[in-house]
Amino acid sequence: MNYKMAVKLVLSECSSALDKINEDEVNNFMNMLLEADQVFFVGVGRVKLELEAFAKRLAHLGIKVHIVGDINEPAMTSKDVLVIGSGSGESLIPVAIAKKAKQIGGKIIHIGSNSKSSLASITDLMVRIPVQTKLYLSDEIVSKQPMSSLFEQSLFLFGDVVAVMIIDKKNIELKKLWNYHANLE
């Protein structure tokens, strides 16, 4: 496969995945982020990297964000939200952290593909990106990319889409964001 063919494949799969996300779930997700005192993110591996990028974007938009496990992570409270990124919803560490956050009274959001995962009974909201996971569920979008690349790419793009929606909802001027960011460097 040449470069242009690979580009078409990746972009086509990402577009299909993002088109399948339920808009009501996205709006609820955005509102929960905006209403929370703090937003915590947890994921493992490459998914964690995508969540860190999204958290950084939200921090630029004035939302208090934390990555679970960071040295400066404060305690979570009942006024906070935990966002879990896990395609299968079965990753041990995120599931255990979600259970603890639920005991505290925090809101739990799962971004993943498996709506019947171990997280299903404790989540307040699931944003489903119905792409192929290690479970190979029958209603997942099949990918020609390696492993869970499509989920990770879709998660990254989803974060930027939500950021654009927040910018619009809060009437944030892009020029001010650029100036703010430039002054930090």
Given the residues 13, 152, 173, 185, the one annotated as active site: 152
Q: Is 152 a catalytic residue?
A: yes
Residue (of 113, 64, 132, 73) closest to 97 by Cα position: 73
Amino acid type, 150 = L
d(CA 85, CA 173): 29
Phi/psi for 174 (5° steps) reads -60, -35
| Residues composing the chain | 185
Dig out the tokens for 111 from the structure.
């971004």
Return the DSSP state at 9. Answer: H
Active site residues: 152
